[in-house]
Chains A and B, each alone.
Chain A
C-alpha cells in the first residue's frame, strides 16, 4: 500500500534523481577522492612540520669539524686554538668541543663500540651557537680557522637545509596537484553523471519547462542532489582517512628517532581536513549546476 499511496511529508524533488543507478556509486567515488585528498594534505603538512622542526633546530647553530691530527697532543692543541678563535669571534655565543666519549656515543649506532674502542681516527667537532640577530661571516670564519687547522670545515647546515626545504616545498606542491586532480576527476564524474541524469529524465524536464520552469529550477534539482551525495561521500572519505592518519601516527611513534615530527595537527589544520568534504560537496554541487545550465542553454 505504501507504494501506491504516500504519506504526506516534505515535497519530493520534481526530478527523481535519487532513483538513478548511474549516480548510485558517486558518494563512494567522492569518498575515495576526499580520502586521497586528506592523505595528500596530511603528507604535505607533515613535510612542512619536518622542515620547520629541522630549520628551528639548526637555526643559530654551526658545527666546526677539525680533521684528525697525527698525534693526540697536536690535535688537542689545534682544538683549543680553534675554540679560542671561535670564542673571540663576534656573533659567536658559545663554542663547545665534543669530547671523545660524546663522539663515540654519536657514532656508536653506526660503527659499533668495538671499532670506536680502537685507534680509529675521528675528526673533532665543535658545537657552536651563534647570535642569529648578528651572525658571524661564515666565509671569513672559515678562512680564519683554516690558518689554525688546515682542512677545517665550518658547516652552517644551510646547503643541506635548503635541500630539505626544497623537498618540503615539492611535497606540498605534489599534494596541491593531487588535490587539484581529485577535484578535476570528481568534476568530470559529476558532469558525466549529470548529463546521464539529464538524458534519463528528459521527459520530466521537458514537462517542467512546459509548465513554466526556468533552467535554474531544473538546475536546482540536480545541484541539491549533488550537494547531498557530495557531503555524504565527503564525510565518509574523511571518516575513512582518520583511522589511516592514526595508524600513521602510531608507526611514527614507533620509530622514535627524534628526526621525524609527531603526526599531530593544530586546530586550523584540523579545520582544513573538515573543510575538504565541504569543498567536495560544493564542487559537486557547482559542477552539476553548471553542467545542467550549459546543457539546457544549448536546447532550442
Chain B
C-alpha cells in the first residue's frame, strides 16, 4: 500500500527533514505515527498524500512509484486517499455539508439526481455521526475548532478511501470525541481502508492495539512496533 525506501526530504538547501526513512504499510493495516513536534510526521504524511516529492529515495503508493505519475494520474490516485489536515483546510464559503460533499463532487459521484440524493444522505448521516447534525448548513468560520476538525474528518472519509491519512486528527477534540473518531477510523479499517494517524498524543495511542512508528529528528526511531514491543521499548527521554 505505502512503501518508502531510503527517503530523504529537505526544502531547498536546508537541513534534512527526513533522513533515509524506509517503511512499509500493508493494505488494510492501521498505523500510528508518533513523535514530538518537528520529528517529521507531517512531512511524511505530505509525501503519502502526494503533496511533496522526496529529495532522494523512492515512494510507492498502491504499488506505483509516484515519481513517474502524470498530473492526471496523481489526481486519480489522490481520490483513493482521504486526508485529515492538521489545519483542517475547509473552504470557508461552503457550508459544512458542502465541504464534506466536495470529494464526491470532484469525483463526479454527485452528478446524477439519484447519486446526488444518495450522496446527500450519506453526507448528512456522516455529519450526524460526528455530532454535527445541527450544523450542517453552518459556514466553517462559525464553527469551533473541534467542530471544524470533525467536518474535516467527515470530508476525508466520505469517499471511502483506500488510504486514510490523518494529521493530528484529535488535536482539538475532547477525549470522548477523540476516542469515538478513532473507533470510526477502526470501522473504516475493518472494511479494508489502510489508516495512518500522526499524533503526539501517545496516551491515546496506548488504548489501541495497532502498530506504532515513532519518528525523532527526521529518523525512524521505532518502526511499526506492536503493543508488546512498545511496552518493551524505552520511553522517549528515558
Contact = CB atoms under 8 A, between A and B. Distances in A.
Given A211-B102, A212-B106, A300-B53, A12 B93 contact: yes
A19 to B, nearest CB: 7
A12 B103 contact: no
Interface string B73-106: 0011011010100000101011101100111011
A4 B91 CA distance: 14
A208 B106 contact: yes
B93 A212 contact: no
Interface in A210-257: 210-215, 217
Given A213-B106, A215-B71, A217-B106, A6 B139 contact: yes
Contacts of B49: 210
Interface residues of B, number: 30
B139 A207 contact: no
B78 A210 contact: yes
Given A14-B91, A207-B89, A207-B91, A212 B138 contact: no
B193 to A, nearest CB: 16
A5 interface: yes
A7 B137 contact: yes
A214 B71 contact: yes
B105 to A, nearest CB: 7
A212 B79 contact: yes
Contacts of A214: 71-72, 75-76
Size range of the chain A interface in the assembly? 20 to 34
A4 B138 contact: yes
Interface in B44-83: 49-51, 53, 71-72, 75-76, 78-79, 81, 83
B142 interface: yes
A210 B51 contact: yes
A8 interface: yes
Given A14-B106, A211-B78, A212-B103, 9 more contacts: A5-B142, A8-B97, A14-B105, A16-B93, A207-B89, A208-B106, A211-B83, A212-B81, A215-B71
26 contacts: A3-B139, A4-B139, A5-B95, A5-B137, A5-B139, A6-B137, A7-B137, A12-B93, A14-B91, A14-B105, A207-B89, A209-B78, A210-B49, A210-B50, A210-B51, A211-B83, A211-B102, A211-B106, A212-B78, A212-B79, A212-B81, A212-B103, A212-B107, A213-B106, A296-B71, A297-B71
Contacts of A6: 95, 137, 139
A56 interface: no
Nearest to A4: B142
Contacts of A207: 89, 91
Nearest to B97: A8
A287 B36 CA distance: 48
Contacts of A300: 53
Interface of B: 49-51, 53, 71-72, 75-76, 78-79, 81, 83, 89, 91, 93-95, 97-98, 101-103, 105-107, 137-139, 142, 155
A3 B95 CA distance: 11
A12 B99 CA distance: 10
B46 to A, nearest CB: 10
Contacts of B101: 11
B100 to A, nearest CB: 11
A204 interface: yes
Contacts of B78: 209-212
A66 B139 CA distance: 91
A10 to B, nearest CB: 11
B105 A210 contact: no
Given A204-B91, A211-B155, A212-B79, A11 B138 contact: no
A207 B103 CA distance: 10
A14 B51 contact: no
A209 B78 CA distance: 8
A204 B51 CA distance: 14
B162 to A, nearest CB: 12
A161 to B, nearest CB: 60
Nearest to A19: B93
A7 B101 CA distance: 16
Interface in A12-30: 12, 14, 16, 19
Nearest to B80: A212
B137 A210 contact: no
B151 to A, nearest CB: 13
Contacts of A215: 71, 75
A1 to B, nearest CB: 10
Nearest to A214: B75
Nearest to B156: A211
A277 to B, nearest CB: 29
A210 B107 CA distance: 12
Nearest to A299: B71
A11 B139 CA distance: 14
B118 to A, nearest CB: 15
